[in-house]
């Protein structure tokens, strides 16, 4: 689980208490039954077969409990366990984020990106739930920013600070509650050119640690210059507070650079050796990273390579390898992982797979109950 996310896990009883009878009464009979039987609830972005976008709440057995419409394609969700509110961020270069109550008890609201800014798809709450931090782009300067929003004042944007890099993607709150880890992907884009990558020859990705109170740079870690096209994009934390990250390679397709690594504040950055066949199966693209501190593992997924790999966080050895078409969404659950695919398939940590063929699940999953 991710910091800021690790504290978000509450059990079904807490969820149901927060939701109340009105929430259950508002669900379809099948969904209400699924919620009552669920031990965990996960949130993930989707597009349905009619082309509509939204956030789905799924039980750990893959039953659809509730949906929250979005105006366009979503990417990831941030969650505040203190208030039960979640924020779904638009996919890059989107300009909206939708705040919704996981119980459906209050009406959703929309955060609009500030002029000259767009979202990169990820955010995280402060430990007290008062502030929301979002990765953003200063469009004219092509500079990475963290936008700061006051959750107690209608999510008003109250500040921003530099990420000391370009293309910030996922961010995590470290266990100290003060430091943010930010993956600067290093790729220049501009909304006028959609998702086109404008600087592949001069990319400079980094993984930085920032003080969220002052915005100051604490540490910056870069890969070897020969790996400047290895974009660092997604991360999670293991039980020892180490940041595990996954990369997407923008160099020649036949190259096979390492795609997974780890870093800890105060120490260096290192890439992990993986078996050649597994690395080839990832097809130079890691779409999600999820750690399971209780199990001592971290999992990475590749929708491009149809592969899911599980690594022991102490030995760095591969302990699981699954071929799964268009797999991307990952979340820790019990001693394994809850995974979703672009084919609408849901693979629980235990039990039988489920498929909701009317849905294409997007990149990420977050446990919210």
Q: What is the pLDDT of residues 19-75, one digit of tens each?
A: 555 555 566 666 666 666 667 899 999 999 999 999 999 998 889 988 999 999 999
List CB contacts of 359: < 8 A, sequence separation 6 or more: 46, 47, 48, 49, 56, 64, 344
For residue 106, the model assigns a pLDDT of 82
pTM: 0.91
With a cut of 70, list the residues of the chain below it in pLDDT: 1-38
- pLDDT tens digits along 319-339: 999 999 999 999 999 999 999
Omega into 304 within 30° of 0, i.e. cis?
A: no
Q: Which helix (H) or strand (E) holds 194?
A: none
Of the candidates 312, 293, 330, 203, the residue with the CA atom closest to the CA atom of residue 257:
203
Of the candidates 329, 339, 332, the residue with the CA atom closest to the CA atom of residue 363:
329
**Is the distance from CB of 350 to CB of 39 less than 8 angstroms?**
no
Residue 136 backbone dihedrals phi, psi, to 5 degrees: -140, 165
Q: Could you tell me which residues are beta bridge partners of residue 318?
A: 311
For residue 2, the model assigns a pLDDT of 40
Cα distance between residue 368 and residue 354, in whole Å: 20
**Is the distance from CB of 327 to CB of 341 less than 8 angstroms?**
yes
Cα distance between residue 218 and residue 153, in whole Å: 29
């Amino acid at each position: 689980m991710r910091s800021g996310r690790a504290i978000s896990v509450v059990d079904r009883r807490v969820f149901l208490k927060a939701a109340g009878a009105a929430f259950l009464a508002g669900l379809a009979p099948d969904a209400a039954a699924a919620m009552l039987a669920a031990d965990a609830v996960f949130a993930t972005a989707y597009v349905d077969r009619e082309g509509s976008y939204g956030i789905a709440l799924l039980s750990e057995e893959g039953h659809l409990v509730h949906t929250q419409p979005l105006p366009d394609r979503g990417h990831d969700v941030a969650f505040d366990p203190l208030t039960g509110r979640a924020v779904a961020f638009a996919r890059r270069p989107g300009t909206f984020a939708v705040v919704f109550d996981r119980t459906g008890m209050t009406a959703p609201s929309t955060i609009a990106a500030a002029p000259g800014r767009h979202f990169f798809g990820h955010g995280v709450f402060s430990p007290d739930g008062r502030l929301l931090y979002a990765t953003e782009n200063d469009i004219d300067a092509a500079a990475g920013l963290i936008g700061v929003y006051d959750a107690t004042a209608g999510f008003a944007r109250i500040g921003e600070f530099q990420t000391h890099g370009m293309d910030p993607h996922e961010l995590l709150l470290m266990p100290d509650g003060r430091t943010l880890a930010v993956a600067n992907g290093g790729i220049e884009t501009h909304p006028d050119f959609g998702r086109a990558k404008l600087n592949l020859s001069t990319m400079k990705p980094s993984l930085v640690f920032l003080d969220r109170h002052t915005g100051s740079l604490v540490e910056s870690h870069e890969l070897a210059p020969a790996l400047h096209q290895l974009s660092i994009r997604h991360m999670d934390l293991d039980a020892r507070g180490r940041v595990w990250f996954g990369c997407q390679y923008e160099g020649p397709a036949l190259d096979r650079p390492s795609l997974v690594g780890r870093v800890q504040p105060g120490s260096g950055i290192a890439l992990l050796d993986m078996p050649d066949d597994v690395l080839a199966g990832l097809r130079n693209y890691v779409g999600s990273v999820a750690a399971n501190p209780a199990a001592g593992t971290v999992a990475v997924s590749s929708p491009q390579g149809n592969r899911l790999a599980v690594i022991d966080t102490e030995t760095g050895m591969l302990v699981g390898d699954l071929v799964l078409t268009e797999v991307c969404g990952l979340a820790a659950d019990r001693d394994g992982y809850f995974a979703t695919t672009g084919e609408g398939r849901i693979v629980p940590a235990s039990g039988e797979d489920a498929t909701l063929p009317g849905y294409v699940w997007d990149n990420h999953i977050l446990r919210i109950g």
